[in-house]
Structure 1
Amino acid sequence: MTTVPDEPDVEALATELEAAREEREAVESRIASHGEQSVRAVDDAVDEALTLLARYEDSATGTGDFEAYLELQSLFVELVEGLPEELPEREQFEEANEALDQRTISKSDIEHAREALSVAGEVAALFDERQVAQQRVDDAEHAITKRLNAIERRLDELDRLRELGEVDLSAPTETLTEPIDRYNSAVREAFEEYRSAAPARELLRFVRTTRHFPLVGFQQPPEELVEYVENHPAGEEAVPTLLKYAGFSQSKLDHYVEDTTAFRTTVPVHRTYLDRLESEPLTVGNPPPTADELRHLSTELVSVVGRFADEETVALARELGSLARRDDYERLREAAVAEEELSADQREALRTGVHEEEYDRLSDERERLAELLYQ
């Protein structure tokens, strides 16, 4: 069964989420102090200003292109004059503009302008900071959700262990398992003999009849395979023989099969189906099904098994129905289920109460994390 990892613990998860939310709130507060639209305007203005500086840095500086120099000054002045008076850090744009208001512009003037815009750039970066902060919150909430899902799965398992722990493990489960084992052994042997000897045509006809018995879960044969065995002499051969033919060379196959092309395009293609055509759909699983399920299954098995097995095997299938009608069937079945599901360590843990301690601890952790996640 699943165990819940000890790390990260609830406090580590809680601390990270609280810190992430505080970081996001701090950024939101800074944005709110300027106004969403104002920060957006600063972001656009800084982006435009830096783009201008980068575009003209080489052509407008020193003894470069005089037209580029005039163009940079003109565009930068136009940008700054178009900014709202109340724009945050507007004076930084004006300082950058002054750095460019020279008879000639040097690389150092461009750098001065960039430095002047750095404070405005901090405002412009608030949207990116908010995105990063939100991602941190999302990651922290995802970690808590993942932890909660693991806890829920483990608590479900502990609930199941509690149920199994209340079962009478001293009940004589062999009363159920031995008749079922006898039937399973008999039907496996009978079906293997049938599969080895019956013509493939007859075997597939039998499998097709089981579609009327929903509790007998044979996979139905492919239509082209059924059509082949019904309409070709090779269909009179048993399945093991057809599988042996499928491994023959073309020259050798000519001696055993009339239409080798039809054989090659049908039997080898469905070899996996024929290989897996075994008795398991006719058996009863362990642990046993409920009484109602076993009664209905017994009725279907009697009808199906009677088509190929001897009366002794059919009688064992019929006995399953009588078994399901025992007054103590469910009590014995619950004990058989517990025997199947519980390991020795789990039984010892149930005896000592270790699982109860784990259940209480995880329940407290679930409550703490859920409260933190959804607050």
Structure 2
Amino acid sequence: MSEAVERLRRAREAVESAVAAVERHGRDELETVESASDSATKLLDQYEDTATGTGDFQSFVKFQDEFATTVEELPDDLPRRDAFEEALDAVDQRRLSESDFAAARTVLGPATELVDVLEREREARAELREAEREAKRRLQALDDAIAEHERLLELGDADLDAPVEKLRDPLERYDEAIVAAFTDYRTDVSARELLEFASSAAHYPLVDVQAPPADLVEYVESHEAGTETVPRLLELADYSRSKLDHYVEDATALKRAVATRQTYLDRLDGSALQLEWPPGPAAELRRRCEERITLVSRVAGEDVVATLRTVRELTWDDEYERLWTAAVALDELDAEGRERLASGSVADELAELRAERESLREALGDR
């Protein structure tokens, strides 16, 4: 039995026991005793300093009147009513001392014990709620662990000796080539053209390029400085205003539009046009290639576009599925994972996790 299931069992038994204790005494009666005990205790706490000794006589009278009223209004058949009456006797004195208040609290003890029966039920229910929350958290952890183990077993079916370099080599050649080509493009074209490219690329869902900020676009389109390259604009943005006045008409506008967008401009480096490794399934990689072909032809030479087409053509190859599965397995499986698969421990652990999940679902009533 798992720890979470055991905690649930104990918590439910504690609630059953606590409820039974409450029902033996009567819930309504216990709640009345609790209310009376609270009222009596509050009066003792409220008036102890002012109604004792030679203190405030008005406070003394008010305390005795309120305490007597609290006790006299209790039902005659209330459990432990005698404890309240004894407390009233303890403070029914011509002059009160701290010892009288202490005596009243002492004789209220039997009533407090009854109140504890309700409190133990509340505590038991709170523990049950926490045990259920913990069980649900454990159930989520089990779901995650089971999914991970199932994934490991899937990877274990891959052909780890497959020649994945047939897929990796052209993809890596493309990734290197597009970054180099984009670096050249970035240093050759104006900021206007580069941001126009970024605006277009942002419409392609499988290319992670953010649309340029509107104020930056407005600046490069309406100011002469927009004909400069992005690296040159970033260089100018680092100049002091007095120095910048020698290069542009409105130094403040350049500072405001460019310096505040340096992070965005720095990230326009071509990496968004790369293809991740390991790639996705054939259809996904094909779509990624097709989206990039149009964009890459704007920033790179035909040799880079041809390499990208080569990668796309691989997705129609009958061998792609085997190569892709092997690539994913080699990327995700470390030496320890392979050893665990070979020894059968992954399958054993999965069986144990599933059994624990089943018992926990049953314990939660969630089958």
Partner AA of 1:225 in structure 2:
L
Cα distance in 1 between the residues matched to 2:203 and 2:42:
76
Q: Any conservation in 1 of the 2:241–2:252 contact (CA below 8 Å)?
A: no
Deviation string for 1:311-352 (max 9, x for gaps)?
A: 111211222221111112122111111111111211111111
Relative distance call for 1:229 and 1:126 in structure 2 (3 A) is: same
Partner of residue 7, structure 1? none
For residues 288 and 149 of structure 2, the distance between their equivalents in structure 1, rounded to whole angstroms, comes to 31
Q: Aligned residue for 1:356? A: 347
Partner in structure 1 of residue 164 of structure 2: 173
The CA distance in 1 between the partners of 2:298 and 2:63, in whole Å, is 96
Question: CA RMSD of the aligned region, Å?
Answer: 2.4
Whole-angstrom CA distance in 1 between matches of 2:298 and 2:92: 103
- Counterpart of 2:205 in structure 1 is 214
Displacement of 1:102: 5.0
Deviation of 1:193 after TM superposition, in Å, equals: 0.6
**Displacement after TM superposition at 1:271 (Å):** 0.7
For residues 296-315 of structure 1, what are the structure 2 equivalents within 5 Å?
296-315=287-306
Deviations 1:136-179 (A, max 9, x none): 22333333332222222111100001111111111111111111
- Between the aligned partners of 1:287 and 1:246, the Cα distance in structure 2 is 39
User: What is the SS of the residue equivalent to 2:205?
Assistant: coil
Give the match for residue 79 of structure 2.
88
2:28: which partner in 1? 37
Counterpart secondary structure, 1:267? helix
Q: CA deviation at 1:361?
A: 1.9
Q: Tell whether 2:321 aligns with 1:330.
A: yes
- Whether 1:259 aligns to 2:259 is no
Q: 1:48 to 1:320 in 2, by over 3 A?
A: same
Of the structure 1 ranges 69-78 and 166-175, higher mean CA displacement relative to structure 2 is found in 69-78
Amino acid of the residue matched to residue 239 of structure 2? F
How many angstroms apart in 2 are the aligned matches of 1:107 and 1:154? 62
Cα separation, 1, equivalents of 2:56 and 2:178: 97
How far has the Cα of 1:364 moved from its partner? 2.2
Deviations 1:178-218, CA, capped at 9 Å, x for gaps? 11112222211111110112111111122222244333331
Q: Which has the higher mean CA deviation after the structures are superposed, 130-139 or 272-281?
A: 130-139
Would you say how many aligned residue pairs link Structure 1 and Structure 2? 366
Matches of 2:55 and 2:189 in 1, distance apart? 98
Q: Residue 205 of structure 1 aligns to which amino acid in structure 2?
A: E
Q: Which of 214, 221, 225 is the matching residue for 1:223?
A: 214
The residue number in structure 2 matching 1:285 is: 276
Q: CA deviation at 1:15?
A: 4.0
Give the SS at the match of 2:247.
Answer: coil
Q: Which TM-score applies when normalising by structure 2?
A: 0.90
* 1:60–1:277 Cα change, 3 Å: closer
Which residue, 135, 138, 143 being the options, matches 2:134? Answer: 143
Aligned counterparts of 2:262 and 2:59: Cα–Cα separation in 1: 79
Q: Which residue pairs with 1:250 in the alignment?
A: 241
Long gaps (5+) in structure 2:
none
User: Could you say which residue in structure 2 is the equivalent of 1:196?
Assistant: 187
Quick one: higher RCO (CA 8 Å, sep 6+), 1 or 2?
Answer: 2
Give identity over the alignment, percent.
Answer: 44
Q: Which residue of 1 aligns with 2:70?
A: 79
**TM-score normalised to structure 1 length:** 0.89
Match of 2:10 in 1: 19
State the SS of the aligned residue for 1:88. coil
CA shift for structure 1 position 55: 4.3
Task: Sort the Cα spacing of 1:307 and 1:40 in 2 relative to 1 into closer, same or farther, 3 A.
Answer: same
Instruction: Kindly state the Cα deviation for residue 89 of structure 1 after the two structures are TM-superposed.
Output: 0.8
In structure 1, C-alpha distance between the alignment counterparts of 2:258 and 2:65, rounded to whole Å: 84
What are structure 1's unaligned runs of at least 5 residues? 1-9
Given that residues 146 and 353 in structure 2 are in contact (C-alpha distance below 8 angstroms), is that contact kept between their aligned partners in structure 1?
yes
Distance in 2 between residues matched to 1:232 and 1:86, nearest whole Å: 93
Structure 1 match to 2:178: 187
Residue 96 of structure 1: CA displacement?
2.5
Q: Which residue of 2 aligns with 1:239?
A: 230
- Do the aligned partners of residues 237 and 72 (structure 1) sit closer, same or farther apart at CA in structure 2, a change above 3 Å counting? closer
